[in-house]
Amino acid sequence: MTRKIIYAFFFIIAALNLNAQDNAFKPEWNFGVGFGPTFSTVDTDPKLKTKYTMGFHGGLSARYIAEKYVGVLAELNYSRLGWETDFKDNPGGYEHSHRLNYLELPFMTHITIGDKVRFVINIGPKIGLLLSEKETMNDNLKKLLVSEDIPANMITYQYYRDADIKFDYGLIAGLGVEFRTGVGNFMFEGRYAFSLGDIYHNSKSDYFTRSANRVAYARLTYFIKPF
């Protein structure tokens, strides 16, 4: 009788151990693609009156979830950023925009809460390389800039001027939700990026002491688990 009890005890322990192993967290790799709109502007000192301009971004994502709630997320994105000038203090039918096209690499800590539906937090550094740019202005502004009637309170340094600095770096953070399904994982997210680098030179002899990108992103990423 005692022997049967001992055998039963060890059988239960073994079964519980196998069940615990089945339920234990297993690290996983995910790869995917993501895209969405951008809403960007530039923060300068002296203060340039600007408005957010809408662009887009998209690219590849790689995610490694090392612990149950924590992993890392890296992306390689093409991002269309820039700004529009706000002329509300100098009405005259003027229009101006400056588009900046970047190759961006964010590398973020990835935090999740939940199971099939997960609350997501992403935060980390971001670097970018300016690939191209385009400045657009209407005829009214072009005529003003060659005239002698430029208002004293209008900043004109940035007109007809390309970016001086091609490399950008900063911080990015996002909140979102992920749905894990049988056909893949779908992550919906909102992000904000705060550049620490500048677009124009910022030495004492330069006009701007700060000229940094400020960007809001909305993003949908589709992940698959290949192995």
Domain membership of residue 5 (yes or no) is no
24-42 as b/e: b if 16+ CB within 10 A: eeeeeebebebebebbbbb
pLDDT at 16: 45
Q: Residue 10, by phi and psi: left (phi above 0), alpha (psi -120 to 50) or beta?
A: alpha
Instruction: Tell me the residue range of the domain where 60 lies.
Output: 26-224
Looking at the 3D structure of the chain, how many domains does it have?
A: 1
Backbone phi and psi for residue 21, each to the nearest 5 degrees, phi listed first: -65, -35
pLDDT at 156 over 80: yes
93 lies in a domain? yes
Residues 95-147 pLDDT 10s: 999 999 999 999 999 999 999 999 999 999 999 999 999 999 999 999 999 99
Residue 7 has a CB neighbour count (10 Å cut-off) of 10
**What is the distance between the alpha carbons of residues 170 and 41, in angstroms, rounded to a whole number?**
15
Q: What pLDDT, on a 0 to 100 scale, did the predictor assign at position 12?
A: 45
Report DSSP state, residue 199: S
For residues 110 and 183, what is the distance between their CA atoms, to the nearest angstrom?
A: 21
In-domain check, residue 17: no
- Rounded distance between C-alpha atoms, residue 207 and residue 205, angstroms: 7
71-88 pLDDT, tens digit per residue, is 999 999 999 999 999 999
- Domain of 201, CATH number, reads 2.40.160.20
Closest CA to 62 of 72, 52, 53: 72
DSSP 8-state assignment for residue 6: H
Does residue 15 lie within any of the structural domains?
Answer: no
